[in-house]
Structure 1
Amino acid sequence: MLHLTDIQLQDNKVFLSMLSHVLSVDGFYFSTTYDLTHTLQRLANTSPEFQEMSLLERADPRFVWNGHLLREFAAQPEIHRFATPVMHGFITMHSCSINGKCFDWLLVSRRSCFRAGVRYYVRGIDSEGHAANFVETEQIVHYKGSKASFVQTRGSIPFFWSQRPNLKYKPKPQISKSVNHMDGFQRHFDSQIISYGKQMIVNLVNQKGSEKPLEQTFAKMVNSMANGMVKYIAFDFHKECSRMRWDRLQILVDQLAEQQDEFSYFLVDSDGKIVTQQEGIFRSNCMDCLDRTNVIQSLLARRSLQAQLQRLGVLHVGQRIEEQADFEKIYKNAWADNANACAKQYAGTGALKTDYTRTGKRTQWGLIMDGWNSLVRYYKNNFSDGFRQDAIDLFLGNYSVDEVEPASPLHVKKDWKFLALPIIMVVAFSMCIICLLMAGDTWTETLAYVLFWGSASFGTFAIILYNGGSSDAVHISKYLGVEALIMELL
């Protein structure tokens, strides 16, 4: 440290704060005795030599978030025992009882460190076929020595597209026209088939508006690939479930039932004998692979769990999980917590639609909380996620600090317009409070009024300061896409 200049010392403090910012996010897990980076099925199909390896050697590199920090340890086998892989995601464990039979139920989500980042800044795939916000979620049951698991994945639509923040609530996705999409697309699914077997893509994006080209391109590329191991189904989540028709999700579950029965699940008995293996996987996605995706994954996981518990003898023939009130509460809350964890790590706020995951229905309070989280996401995506993305890239080694570098990227002169942001936000918040006092009689009118005019007021000041734009509130609200927000919430 003594050889650093004053400027480098200041930069060093900033870099340390960036690392601290990444580590302050909940969801880092490690074990000194168990390999958290692999599913039960992968571990059961390994060789004795693999079992003798150190945790660092055998870990799945996709889910080792401190891999860059351990690079010097990896080159020295004699100190591997001191190197502990760290996973990022979500883990919950519950001791449960149904019909007087006790079992352990676990939910594990593993976030990939390849193409890692934050919402809007990281979308699609990279040249190696790694998808943004890729998460492997495993549901595990332990009962009298037997173990069962069901694995699903989520990940960004796997071709080259972007959705850069531009003050709009929902920036228009842009599909790259200068690259060969099929190369990365093929690499993505080749690796997925090797890891998981057959692929059932469940695409939940809107089939109209700005999301429509993404759905059409995805379907077209699956057809062009002509791989019998990959199947595709599109389900317009927002259209099908509009006006609180959440029962219509069963339509999708029923459509996938035959495929799910074919994929089966992993089961090993108390003697260590493999009874069944999972032959394929559901790869779900929406735009962010957060809210809509988590709802569908929880429904598919429940259906698998129903079959597992019946086979293990925990549930009697004809009994359903939904009828077990105590366990159902644990199940729903765990999946809602999983949604919140993944959302905070990618989007910076808790997930939307968790009231449905927790209670099985949409509530007025849930809609209000979704509105609040959406506005917080809007702020973070536009004004603070750049720092979060830089911090993640630094932590993962995507950017390396070079002390002989003449100028640090930290010393980029900020535009005066960014200094006006606190004033903008104070004015916008004040307008929202005024709107609350002047809003309509019903909660829907209140929500729409606050979102429309509150965001319009924010947009007015933002556009004036940033672009010298129009001060017409209606024009600004349309520019910001507030109407899309209201439709999404309702």
Structure 2
Amino acid sequence: MKPVYQRLNLFVDVDAYTFVPVEPVGAQSLTIHRSTGDIVLNPPNATIPSTASRFAKTVYGILGLISLALSEYVIVLTGREHRGKLMANDIYRAADFDILPLNPNVSVQNPPHPVEGHLLALVKSHLRGGFFLFSYSWDLSRRLQAQQESEKEKPLWEVADDRFFWNKFLQSRLIDTDIAQVLSPYILPVIYGTFDLRTVYIHGHRIQLCLISRRSRYRAGTRYFRRGIDHDGHVANFNETEQILLVEDQPAALASSGDYNDKLSFVQIRGSVPVYWAEINTLRYKPDLQVMELQDTVDAARLHLQEQVSLYGEQRLVNLVNQKGHEQPVKEAYERTMSQVDLPGVKYQYFDFHNECKHMRWDRISVLIEKLEEDLLKQGYFHTSTKQSSPVQRQLGTVRTNCMDNLDRTNVVQAALAKWTLNHQLKTLGVFSENEQLDDFETLSSDFREMWADHADLISKAYAGSGALKTDFTRTNKRTKMGALEDGYKSVLRYIKNNYFDGARQDAFDLVTGTWIPHKNPSIALSLVVDRRPLVIRSMPYILSFSLFMICAGLTLPRTSDYSLFYYFMLWFIMACLSIVFIMIHGIEYVSWPRLMPPTDIIYYTGPGFRSGHHGKGLGSASGKADGIVDGLGAKWLPSGRKRAATNARIEEIEMGTKKRVD
């Protein structure tokens, strides 16, 4: 694998940015011309212009380039955190970034236009909020088995898994040049995921346990703004999770520091229910559920599953969605679609998680494992050994697990399957005897639980905005009352973020992954920074706040009797109640919706399918009082008399937004 430069010195000039590798000395430097945007690889030992000044920070990699409304920007990595050494390869987390404008008249700190400032803020928030991982010499985007079966002489960016190459769009300016091959040492692939590595010693064996998750950049986004499948077969919140086991069979005291006799990998995947569905936020705790029966539902699901079979082998689909109540229509739509897809190598398994594990009976997950045991043994895991040249065995399939969010229930089940597999692997290698289990070794057991709990938290924060629920079971093997209280707090946090903050977070995903491309004219994108809602809608939160303030102020006012302020309190109490009622009736107007790609076609969908309700759309608005269109760079909310012909024509083309990806 051709490595990437680990440290660069940056020289800034009015006309250019020049990146000079620290090692090897004299290597070809890279220049990005600010006036034209041209990317040039300089001759070895090229001199730096005397007018250029050295950037104050060391650059640990170029994340890529992004073009906004007024300028193109270079995003550089200026801080990194060492997360561990996997098979002698250093793994880092991206900890700090700098954004450098090509246009010398544009300042990142003080953008000259509010639209440019808004777009820059989205990029910054995405970089700060993500968990980005990279290695200069190891392909983090591919599982161990895929790396074993591919060419090893190509550069990292060329062999990286396209689904998990998170900054592929940002790197497209470098990749699409005629000199991409010679630019390879500057192209650093980054994944959005998790990484954890623990070392333990058991019966004289040194054991390393590693857990990696990789989040797909396709259909990426937040919990309520990215659900289900798109027309290309990509599903929301798709994650590949790989548990790597490294075992040295020599006595620990004699083992070398970086080599292991046996390397084993077990891969699981998760992804949203592969049908067209959504949950529409209306400020209610339970959003309106919507299942859309589009003509290509079966084709999209088949496309998704065919891709999984081609990549991983046989698929065992484990569905944890409730069979009653709010989630029932999603379960039924999934099963209805699977009955029509009918693909060889794909088997469906339903498990009623909440019913089977009610009253905190989490040990009941063993019922599911018993049902899957035959397939787990058949699919196996990947295993290489220094004792033979070819792999001992390959993983022939994966378990694909989902619940509604693919977070909490999915985390518990995946951890249980990983634990069962780890026990099986260690017994096969002879580390464990037949009557020994993981729980018999406290250090290994504790590390395993912590790794999976931390892994669950990070995946949940990326999608839902808070840590995962039910992690007390993952960490302790028990469901506790304190854990239930913590879950209550996380649920409230999710509600607040999903309703009031996730719109901007979704915009950031769409902007950085290239799903939405800005126009070079900020004046047509003022809807991104201007509130176009009617005055009465905008005024209600202020009326509510003022009413509550007056009530609090009244508690401190002097009074001649207990009844002297009765009418005062009555007035402001009625005003507060009326404003709350108004806000809840028109709740959909107060949700933080994405502005770059507003999901208006989903909100006002009137085609075949299931809809749990039209709450929060205003009185008499079951068919939709307002309509929305993508206008320039943003969205306009239109009056109720607007014809819906354009929207209805697009229903067959959309599913949570129009795709404009450029790779």
| Same fold per superposition (TM over 0.5) | yes
Give the aligned partner of residue 132 of structure 2: 28
What secondary structure does 1:281 align onto? strand
- State yes or no: 1:16 paired with 2:117: no
One-letter code of the match for 1:258? E
CA 1:148–1:421: 2 relative to 1, 3 Å? farther
Gaps spanning 5+ residues in structure 1: where?
429-457, 470-478, 481-490
Tell me how far 1:26 sits from its aligned partner: 4.2
Q: 2: distance between equivalents of 1:77 and 1:376?
A: 46
1:44–1:379 CA distance, 2 compared to 1 (3 A): same
Structure 2 residue 514 is matched with structure 1 residue 413:
no
User: What is the CA-CA distance between 1:242 and the residue it aligns to?
Assistant: 1.5
Structure 1 residues 153 and 423: alpha-carbon distance in aligned structure 2, compared to 1, 3 A threshold: farther
Task: Work out whether 1:52 is the aligned partner of 2:153.
Answer: yes
> Are 1:222 and 1:230, in contact at CA under 8 Å, matched by a contact in 2?
no
The partner residue of 2:316 within 185, 192, 200 is 200
**Aligned with residue 306 of structure 1, among 416, 419, 423:** 423
Q: Which moved more, 1:308-317 or 1:294-303?
A: 308-317
- Partner secondary structure for residue 223 of structure 1: helix
What CA deviation, in whole Å up to 9, does each residue of 1:22-44 have, x standing for no partner?
A: 11124200111000011111111
Equivalent residue number for residue 173 of structure 2? 72
Code of the aligned partner of 2:209: W
Could you say which residue in structure 1 is the equivalent of 2:369? 253
CA shift for structure 1 position 208: 0.7
Structure 1 residues 299 and 461, CA, compared in 2 at 3 Å: closer, same or farther? farther
Listed one character per residue, the Cα deviations across residues 200-231 of structure 1 (whole Å, up to 9, x for unaligned) are: 00000100112112112212222222222100
The aligned runs of 1:374-453 (5 Å cut-off) are 374-404=491-521, 406-408=523-525, 409-415=527-533, 417=537
CA gap 1:424/1:138 in 2 versus in 1, 3 angstroms = farther
- Tell me which residue corresponds to 1:330: 447
- Counterpart CA distance in 1 for 2:428 and 2:577 is 56
Asked if residue 187 in structure 1 is aligned to residue 299 in structure 2, the reply is: no
Identity of aligned residues (%): 37
SS in 1 for 2:113: helix
* Residue 423 (structure 1) shift: 8.7
Residue 155, structure 1, aligned to residue 271, structure 2: yes
Q: Point out the more displaced range, 269-278 or 389-398.
A: 269-278
Residue in 1 that maps onto 2:79: none
| TM-score between both structures, scaled by the size of structure 2 | 0.63
Give how far 1:64 is off. Answer: 1.0
Q: Which residue of structure 1 lines up, in the alignment, with residue 355 of structure 2?
A: 239
Q: Label 1:322 to 1:421 Cα distance change in 2 as closer, same or farther (>3 A).
A: farther
1:88 aligns with 2:189: no
Q: Answer whether contact 1:201 1:233 (CA < 8 A) is retained.
A: yes
Query: Which stretch shifts more, 99-108 or 329-338?
Result: 99-108
2:163 partner SS: helix
- State the AA in 2 paired with 1:368: L
Aligned AA for 2:392?
Answer: V
Q: Is the 8 A contact 1:154 1:284 kept in 2?
A: yes
SS at match of 2:242: strand
* Counterparts of 1:316 and 1:459, CA distance in 2: 67
- 1-structure distance, mates of 2:247, 2:157: 29
SS at match of 1:179: coil
Q: 1:289-310, CA deviations, whole angstroms, 9 ceiling, x for partnerless residues?
A: 0000000000001111111111
How has the CA–CA distance of structure 1 residues 299 and 425 changed in structure 2, closer, same or farther, with 3 Å as cutoff?
farther
CA shift at 1:333, angstroms? 0.9
- C-alpha distance in structure 2 between counterparts of 1:66 and 1:45, whole Å: 24
Tell me how far apart the structure 2 counterparts of residues 56 and 211 of structure 1 sit (CA, whole Å).
40
Query: Is the Cα contact below 8 Å between 1:133 and 1:289 reproduced in 2?
Result: yes
Q: Secondary structure at the match of 1:243?
A: coil
Question: What one-letter code is carried by the residue in structure 1 that aligns with 2:171?
Answer: L
Q: CA deviation at 1:72?
A: 1.2
Q: 1:105 aligns with which of 209, 234, 258?
A: 209
Deviations 1:243-285 (A, max 9, x none): 2121211111111111111111110002443001111100000
Alignment CA distance shift 1:399-1:26 (3 Å)? closer
Shift of residue 461 of structure 1? 6.2
Q: 1:296 to 1:464 in 2, by over 3 A?
A: same
Residue 364 (structure 1) aligned with residue 481 (structure 2): yes
* Bigger-Rg structure (1/2): 2
Counterpart residue identity of residue 159, structure 1: V
Deviations 1:297-336 (A, max 9, x none): 0000111111111122221222111211111111111101
Change (3 A) 1:462 1:247: farther
Deviation string, structure 1 residues 119-172 (Cα, Å, up to 9, x no partner):
010000111000100000000011122100100000000111111211121223
Q: Distance in 2 between matches of 1:460 and 1:344?
A: 35
Post-superposition shift, 1:424? Answer: 6.6
Q: Which has the higher strand share?
A: 2
| CA apart distance, 1:462 | 4.3
Farther off after superposition, 124-133 or 95-104: 95-104
Q: Structure 1's 382 and 461: CA in aligned 2 closer, same or farther, altered over 3 A?
A: farther
Aligned-pair CA distance for 1:9: 2.5
Inter-CA distance 336–422: structure 2 relative to 1 (3 Å threshold): farther
Q: CA deviation at 1:358?
A: 0.6
Change (3 A) 1:425 1:192: farther
Taking the aligned partners of 2:469 and 2:381, their CA distance within structure 1 comes to 29
Deviates more, 1:314-323 or 1:183-192: 314-323
Number of matched pairs: 439
Q: Is the counterpart of residue 143 in structure 1 residue 259 in structure 2?
A: no
Distance 1:172 1:2, change over 3 A: same
C-alpha separation between the residues in 1 aligned to 2:474 and 2:347?
27
Contact 2:282 2:288 in 1 (8 A): no
TM-score by length of structure 1 reads 0.85
- Provide the rounded CA distance (Å) in 1 between the counterparts of 2:450 and 2:532: 43
Aligned counterpart for 1:293 among listed residues 389, 407, 410: 410
TM-aligned CA deviation for residue 459 of structure 1:
10
Unpaired runs of at least 5, structure 2:
1-102, 249-259, 549-575, 588-614, 617-663
Superposed CA RMSD? 2.5
Q: How many Å separate the matches in 1 of 2:126 and 2:219?
A: 15
Give the Cα–Cα distance (whole angstroms) in 1 for the partners of residues 363 and 136 of structure 2: 44
Secondary structure (helix, strand or coil) at the match of 1:345 reads: helix
Residue deviations 1:63-85, cap 9 Å, x none?
01111110011122221220010
Q: Write the letter of the residue equivalent to 1:236.
A: D
Over 3 Å counting, the alpha-carbon distance change for 1:421 and 1:282 in structure 2 is farther
Please state whether the residue corresponding to 2:304 is helix, strand or coil.
helix
Against the structure 1 CA distance between its residues 177 and 309, is the aligned structure 2 distance closer, same or farther, given a 3 Å change threshold? same
Give SS of 2:528's match.
coil
Output one character per residue of 1:327-367: Cα deviation in whole Å (capped at 9) or x when no partner: 11111111010100000000000000001111111111111
The letter for the 1-side match of 2:156 is L
Match for residue 227 of structure 2 among 93, 116, 123 = 123
Secondary structure of the equivalent of 2:129? Answer: coil
Higher relative contact order (CA 8 A, sep 6+): 1
